[in-house]
Amino acid sequence: MFAWLIMPAVLFSIGVYGMLTRRNAVGILISAELAINAAAMNFVIFNRFITPVKVDGQIMSLFIIATAAAEVLIGIAIFVMLFKFRKTTDVTRMNQMKN
Amino acid sequence: MEQILNYEFILRHAWLIPAMPLLSFLLLGLFIRPLSAKLSGIVATAAVSASAVLSCVLAWGYFHSAAGSPVTLVPWSVEWLRYQAHLSASIGVLVDPISVLLMVVVTIVSFLVHLYSIGYMYGDKGYGRYFTFLNLFTFSMLGLVVAPNILQMYVCWELVGVSSFLLIGFYYEKPSAVAACKKAFIVTRFADLGFFIGVLILGFYGYKIFNEAGAAVTGQPFDFAFLTSPAFLEKFSPLESGIPGVALITLAMVLVYMGAAGKSAMFPLHIWLPDAMEGPTPVSALIHAATMVVAGVYLVARMFPVFAAAEHALTVVACVGAFTSLFAAIIGCTQDDIKRVLAFSTLSQLGYMMFSLGVATVKDSAGYTASMFHLFTHAFFKALLFLGAGSVIHAVHNNDIWKMGGLAKKMPVTHLTFLIATVSIAGIYPFAGFFSKDEILSAALNGGHPVIFGTGLLVAGLTAFYMWRIYFVTFWGKARSDGAGHAHEAPVVMLIPLVVLATLSVISGFVPFAEYVHLGPPPEHEGVNMAVAIPGTIAGVLGIAIAWFMYSSGATRAASFVKAMGSIYGHIKNKFYFDEIYLFVTKRLVFRLVAAPIAWFDRHVVDGGVNLTGWCTRTSGALLRFLQTGQVQTYGVWFVAGSMFVVLILWAMFI
């Protein structure tokens, strides 16, 4: 089973890396979505190898997709408000500190 | 009033004599100077006049009660710093023939200078500051004179150096005055290094010998009474110093003499005294003629038994003194600034006092008495000469004698008193200078020092020559400049001290000095020694005659003589280039080779170390600043990295 978990791990790392380095606000949300999908993939893998008879893992991944959508919606709402005040989507230019 | 002027009372309260100028100094410096200038002058003069009156009564009572064998008393002493039971420093008052003599001289001359300064410094914007410093000086000099131990004398020695520095640099806006006061202080401070090393040697061995002597001695190891006692000298004289052929006592005394030579401007530490004439003229009269410069002579006299016990120390004293007197007399013949001539004259007379001490021995102490006698008379006529010169400078507004002339009719009192002083310094009977110079020369001759006697005679002739040179050029002939043409007599407050000093210059020779001030048994007084008086008078009269010949009717004969002398005249006029030599040694050698590397080290290594810590702090702060970006993503990076690190550790621990 561990060989199968490598891919979600790689996807999750790419997602975290993207969240930490993207300058565009939407890019951060995309990366967040990627990380969440990797976690959902993990659930499916566990379902296939630990409880192959039941479908709990797959149901969980459906919940995750819905939750991710809601969360990204809220994120977009916040960024739209920020864009109204800051006139830019560059997150490095969001703070009002000097330098 | 009778009770206060009672001798017994003053003796018990002899500390009042130095304390009153000190109190006046503090009052003036803190309160009165910022308020009123005129009051400063009055308070300062009143304080010193009170000290003068007390000193005179003390002297009268002391010398009359001593009746031929004066005793040394310490009527007041307070322990000030205690290291151990037998090692403490105290301040006190010592009453002794020479200290009483100097108390009288210092207070009287200081009082007259204060009175004169009220007129001379009138209108000067530093009037209050001037009197404050004069009072500080008077206190320091009196503290030096009455010191019962060598530590108090050293402290007051430095204090008079400081007062001299402050007063020479009184006109601090003139760069020449600032340079002169720095030079005076540095030269005397350098000499005081030798003095202090000598004091340390005496103190170290004195303490050892004091403790070994046990109950036989009283007092403290630094007391003069102990240092000059046979108990100390017997044990100290045989000690060897590290240098072969030089006993420790000789080394210590030569070092102490270095301090005396610096303060009394002996060759080669004489360079500061001519430049010290940048100060106001009454300051020159008080400090650099009558009082501070005799501190060196006083030190040698105070430590005379120790000097006498050292094998060659007195020879050094005598040779340096005789050489200085000749050297300064030669240079004094060529100077044009009236105060410089008087400065070189002071150097020359100090040389007299020094070699007179140098030719004395414990058995035949005529030189000791003669030196103190000359100190006494010289203080009066030299102060008079300076104050008279000040009166002339005040009238003509110029120091150069060739810009003066014809002042005899315009300034009669100044002229007469200056004439009396010049006759006195030339050593003409019956003025005071004759008697004191006569005693010095006979001490040299009877002590078996014919070369020194010859030098003294030659210097007597030169002294008469250069003093009468400036007398003729200044007071006779026609006015040579506008200033001299418009000269008028000085105000009365400046004339009274001149008249008093002139009277003293005449009568002080008749004081039966040898009865009062002597070392050991009182000498038999033979009267005037003709073998010395006649050559001395001839030398003086010859000097006067040559000066009259050359200078009385203009200076044409003098000018042709100067031309005949050629380049030697220029060398002498430049004071034999000693100032240039000292400048060369200090600027080129000491500054470049010693001081500059040390300064570089101080600035770059020592300060650099301190700057380094600051730099480290600042740089690490600048680096850490980049952690705080205000961006959540940066914090996120650190968060992820930190959590991965913790996971790794946990994994490593539990696998």
CA B535, CA B530: separation in Å to the nearest integer?
Answer: 8
**Which CATH number is A11's domain given?**
1.10.287.3510
A92 vs B: CB within 8 A? yes
**Which stretches of B304-411 are DSSP H helices?**
304-309, 313-332, 338-358, 366-396, 407-410
pLDDT band for B122, please (50, 70, 90 cuts).
confident
Put simply, the answer to whether A20 touches B640 (Cβ < 8 Å) is yes
Chain B residue at shortest CA distance from A96 = B630
ipTM above 0.85, yes or no: no
CA B81, CA B451: separation in Å to the nearest integer?
Answer: 47
**Mutate which of B640, B643, B647 to disrupt the A interface (most A C-beta within 10 Å)?**
B640
Rg, Å, chain B Cα set: 30
Identify the pLDDT of residue A10: 96
Answer with the residue of higher pLDDT: B164 or B487. B164
Chain B residue at shortest CA distance from A18 = B633
B595 vs A: CB within 8 A? no
Tokens (6 digits) for A95? 């703070």
CA B223, CA B306: separation in Å to the nearest integer?
Answer: 13
Per-residue pLDDT of chain A (99 residues; tens, 9 = 90+): 889 999 999 999 999 999 999 989 899 999 999 999 999 999 999 999 998 899 999 999 999 999 999 999 999 999 999 889 888 888 887 777 665
Closest by Cβ to A91, choosing from B633, B637, B640: B633
Residue A97 resides in a domain: no
Tally of domains in chain A = 1
DSSP string, B210-223: HHHHGGG--S-TTB
Q: Give the number of C-alpha atoms closer than 13 A to the C-alpha of residue A42, restricted to the C-beta side.
A: 13
Name chain B contacts of A19, Cβ cutoff 8 Å.
Answer: 633, 636
Q: What mean pLDDT is predicted for residues B69-86?
A: 78
Place of tokens 């007197």: B325
The neighbouring-strand residues paired with B88 are B82
Chain A residue at shortest CA distance from B625 = A99
For residue B3, pLDDT over 70 is answered with: no
Residue A1 resides in a domain: no
Residue A98 resides in a domain: no
For residue B219, pLDDT over 70 is answered with: yes
Put simply, the answer to whether B636 touches A97 (Cβ < 8 Å) is no
**Mutate which of A14, A20, A24 to disrupt the B interface (most B C-beta within 10 Å)?**
A20
For residue B523, pLDDT over 80 is answered with: no
pTM of the model: 0.81
The domain of A58 spans 6-92
Put simply, the answer to whether A19 touches B633 (Cβ < 8 Å) is yes
Q: Dihedrals φ, ψ of B95, to 5°? A: -115, 120
| B382-391 b/e (C-beta count within 10 Å ≥ 16 → b) | bbbbbbbbbb
Closest CA–CA distance from residue A17 to any residue of chain B (Å): 9
A78 vs B: CB within 8 A? no
* pLDDT, tens only, B84-111: 777 888 888 988 888 999 999 999 999 9
B636 vs A: CB within 8 A? yes
Residues B174, B175, B181, B186: what is their CA dihedral angle, to the nearest 10 degrees? 170
Identify the pLDDT of residue B488: 80
Identify the pLDDT of residue B62: 84
Name chain A contacts of B629, Cβ cutoff 8 Å.
Answer: 95
CB pairs < 8 Å spanning A and B: 18
Tokens (6 digits) for B425? 């310094």
Identify the pLDDT of residue B526: 64
CA B172, CA B610: separation in Å to the nearest integer?
Answer: 35
* pLDDT, tens only, B592-622: 888 888 999 999 998 999 999 999 999 999 9
For residue B66, pLDDT over 70 is answered with: no
Chain A residue at shortest CA distance from B626 = A99
Closest CA–CA distance from residue B636 to any residue of chain A (Å): 6
Closest CA–CA distance from residue A44 to any residue of chain B (Å): 24
pLDDT band for B326, please (50, 70, 90 cuts).
very high
* Residues 17-76 (A) with a CB less than 8 A from some CB of B: 19-21
B631 vs A: CB within 8 A? yes
Chain A residue at shortest CA distance from B640 = A16
Query: What is Dmax (Cα atoms) for chain B?
Result: 121
Put simply, the answer to whether B630 touches A97 (Cβ < 8 Å) is yes
SS3 content of chain B, % helix, strand, coil (to 5): 75, 5, 20
What is the overall mean pLDDT for chain B? 86
* pLDDT, tens only, B490-514: 888 888 999 999 998 888 888 877 7
Q: What mean pLDDT is predicted for residues B369-390?
A: 91
Name chain A contacts of B622, Cβ cutoff 8 Å.
Answer: none
For residue B525, pLDDT over 70 is answered with: no
Residue A13 resides in a domain: yes
Q: What mean pLDDT is predicted for residues B627-649?
A: 89
Identify the pLDDT of residue B527: 67
Residue A28 resides in a domain: yes
Identify the pLDDT of residue B50: 93
Task: Find out whether B116 and B493 touch, Cβ atoms under 8 Å.
Answer: yes
For residue B585, pLDDT over 70 is answered with: yes
Tokens (6 digits) for B587? 């600027």
B637 vs A: CB within 8 A? yes
Identify the pLDDT of residue B248: 86
Closest by Cβ to A95, choosing from B630, B636, B640: B630
Answer with the residue of higher pLDDT: B72 or A65. A65
Q: What percent of chain B is predicted at pLDDT more than 90? A: 36
Closest by Cβ to B636, choosing from A19, A95, A97: A19
Q: What mean pLDDT is predicted for residues B27-44?
A: 86
Put simply, the answer to whether A20 touches B637 (Cβ < 8 Å) is yes
Task: Find out whether B124 and B40 touch, Cβ atoms under 8 Å.
Answer: no
pLDDT band for B463, please (50, 70, 90 cuts).
very high
Q: Dihedrals φ, ψ of B15, to 5°? A: -65, -15
B451 vs A: CB within 8 A? no
Tokens (6 digits) for B383? 């102060």
